[in-house]
Amino acid sequence: MREPLGAGCLHAVLDASLDIGGADEVEARAVHAWGGLARFARSAIHQHVATDDTSISVRVVTGGRIGVASTNDATPAGAAGAAARALAAARLSPPDPTYPGLAGPAALPDIGRRFDEATATASPALRSRAVTQLLACLGPGQVAAGAISTGATEVALVTTAGARLHGVATRSAASTVVMGGGASGHGEDAAVALDDLSPAEVGARAARTAAAAVDPVTAEAGTYEVVLLPGAVATLLDHLASAFSAKVFAEDRSPFSGRLGEACVSPLLDLADDALGEGALGVAFDGEGTPRQRVTLLAGGAARGLVHDRTSAAAAGTDSTGHGLAAPNPYGPVADHLVLAPGSSGVEELIAGIQRGLVVTRFWYTRDVNPKRTLVTGMTRDGTFLIEGGRRGPPVRNLRYNQSIIEALAGCDGVGDQLGHSSDEGSDIRAPALRLRSFSFTSASDH
């Protein structure tokens, strides 16, 4: 089925789980997700994929003990069966002294248009047309691999505390790596509607980078001034996100633990988690049924805020900010709609401020080394270039880096004026290019 099931249908299914005998509280959640993608390689579509799945998850609380069970039987009998299994699991579990109670009724924020019918019902032919538009931008001798995806997610949630929620949202995305002459370039974008994407622009950007990256020279390892393009910035923000979790903060695992309000990054950087603003994807409530809020994370060079779920908020004596995951959740709250505010400089203006440095299109294989220090390691990929005398110079071979994200951001002295959009099933990040005074590269890479 390529259309929403509807609030009435899903609530009727979930309601069957609420009256189970022996339970003090019950929460039931349904997720109906459908869509497809056209995957291509060597500039030809080689796979069409379609999905359509509905899952039910029930959390039962009895005597302070919690159990969770799930099913793909999206019927009242299926929901009731999941509730019975959750109750059995709860009776075998130890009491949870941190349990904060379930979400009650609450008004949802206005998030504007998040559902596009044409995207929700997009056919393989429509996705193929988008692939054709992307491939038409390749230059001589270039080939591309990647995917065009469209999909929709419908979420419903009810609790014995009185919550009755429903939301539906679409997502479209384009991603490609263009290769030719031993070099590669990358492009990506995401939007609520397929019509809001420009596959041609994504392909052209990747093709230009790949053409410019042919015949790279070797750059010496060392510390460079850099201009990070939006894709590279998004990777760093993705690895910084956990630092703003109230659970991580309370457990002294965040670089900001005990330091809220202190200067820690450049005053040019304003970072928020904003699931409500223009361009954001997803529904208006989190996995626990709490309305989402915009949270200021960095402003004026200081860490200003944290994201909360119901458990961390209860421990801190405050309210959830709508950043909870669905139960069971051992991770705590998640900042998953990061937006770094744009500045006023074009990319070439950022480059002009550097006598000798590097332009980095994208990072790859980035891993955490020391989360408390925000130290990460990884490699550049799909277009790295020297900066010489304020101009973009020749391409260089990929480099491995070891760098503290916080220390790098402390040296930011330029912010790009255009936001790039990086989105997957776990995060939605919008970021501009940045000019950083210091970034540490440890060696050249053959990959």
Q: How many CB atoms lie within 10 A of CB 63?
A: 12
Residues 36 and 144 occupy one common structural domain: yes
Same-domain check for residues 57 and 173: yes
Tell me how far apart the alpha carbons of residues 323 and 192 are, in angstroms, rounded to a whole number. 20
Same domain, 142 and 267: no
The enclosing domain of 49 has a CATH number of 3.30.2290.10
Does 221 lie in the same domain as 189?
A: no
The answer to the question of residue 1 being in a domain is: no
- 356 shares a domain with 225: yes
Please state, in angstroms and rounded to a whole number, the distance separating the CA atoms of residues 334 and 213: 36
Whether 281 and 349 map to the same domain: the answer is: yes
pTM of full prediction above 0.75: yes
Q: Is residue 181 part of a domain?
A: yes
Residue 91: both structure tokens together: 């009776």
**What per-residue confidence (pLDDT) applies to 1?**
53
Structural domains of the chain, count: 2
Decide: helix, strand or coil at residue 160. Answer: coil
Last residue of a domain, one of 153, 168, 203: 203
Query: Please, what is the average pLDDT of the chain?
Result: 96
Say if CB 190 and CB 281 are below 8 A apart. yes
- The domain in which residue 112 lies consists of 7-203
Listed residues 181, 203, 225: the one ending a domain: 203
Q: Are residues 89 and 223 in the same domain?
A: no
CA distance 199 to 179: 17
Residue 2, in any domain of the structure: no
Mean pLDDT by 10 residues, the chain (447 residues): 89 97 97 97 97 97 98 98 98 97 96 96 97 98 98 98 98 97 96 97 98 96 97 97 97 95 96 96 98 97 96 98 96 97 97 97 96 97 97 97 98 97 86 98 84
Q: What are 113-144's pLDDT values in tens digits?
A: 999 999 999 999 999 999 999 999 999 999 99
Contacts of residue 174, Cβ cutoff 8 Å, sequence gap at least 6: 130, 134, 146, 147, 148, 149, 187, 188, 189, 190, 197, 199, 202
* 247 part of a folded domain: yes
With contact defined as beta carbons under 8 Å apart, do 303 and 262 qualify? Answer: yes
Q: Domain boundary at 203, 228, 251, which?
A: 203
Round to whole Å and give the CA distance between 79 and 257: 41
Comparing CA positions, the residue from 228, 65, 200, 225 lying closest to residue 135 is: 200
- Asked, for residue 211, whether it belongs to a domain, the answer is no
Residue 271 lies in a domain: yes
> Any bridge partners for residue 185, and if so which?
178
Strand order in 25-41's β-sheet? 65-71, 44-62, 25-41, 143-159, 164-180, 183-191
Distance CA(310)–CA(103), nearest Å, equals 8
Q: Are residues 183 and 254 in the same domain?
A: no
Q: 278 and 182, same structural domain?
A: no
Q: What angle do CA 75, 80, 84 make, to 5 degrees?
A: 145
Do 222 and 190 belong to one domain?
no
Q: What is the dihedral of CA 270, 426, 275, 7, to 10 degrees?
A: 180
The kind and range of the H/E element at 410 are: helix 405-410
At 423 the pLDDT is 85
- Does 250 lie in the same domain as 180? no
Confirm whether 210 is domain-assigned. no
Same domain, 182 and 246: no
Does residue 209 sit within a domain? no
Provide CB contacts within 8 A for 125, sequence distance 6+. Answer: none
How many angstroms separate the CA atoms of 444 and 218, rounded?
Answer: 7
